[in-house]
Amino acid sequence: MYKKREGGKYHLAANPFTVIFLGSKCKAMMDEFVNNMESNASDRVHKEFENRFSIKCPICKVVNLADSKYCNACGTVLSSK
């Protein structure tokens, strides 16, 4: 058994297993959620993301940030939408 230390503080320290359990369970749920997201909507989300936040260079197909004026790879002028 444990010795009682530091009064009320020990009460918090007495629950690390609960915290770890909840933490790991939460992580598992998050992992499952992310996996579902990726498997269900990976392509759509990826395309949406590319459309909103990036511009693909028409010449070399390198993906640049949406506010890029020029392609990072080949210097082609990128038209902003």
Which spans of this chain sit near Zn ion (rule: CB under 5 A)?
Answer: 57, 59-60, 62, 71, 73-74, 76
The H or E element containing residue 54 is strand 54-56
Cβ proximity to Zn ion, 29 vs 73, nearer residue = 73
Q: 46 vs 61, which CB is nearer to Zn ion? A: 61
- Distance in Å, CB of 79 to Zn ion, minimum: 13
Q: CA 43, 47, 53 angle in degrees (round to 5)?
A: 140
CB of 57 to Zn ion, least distance (A): 3
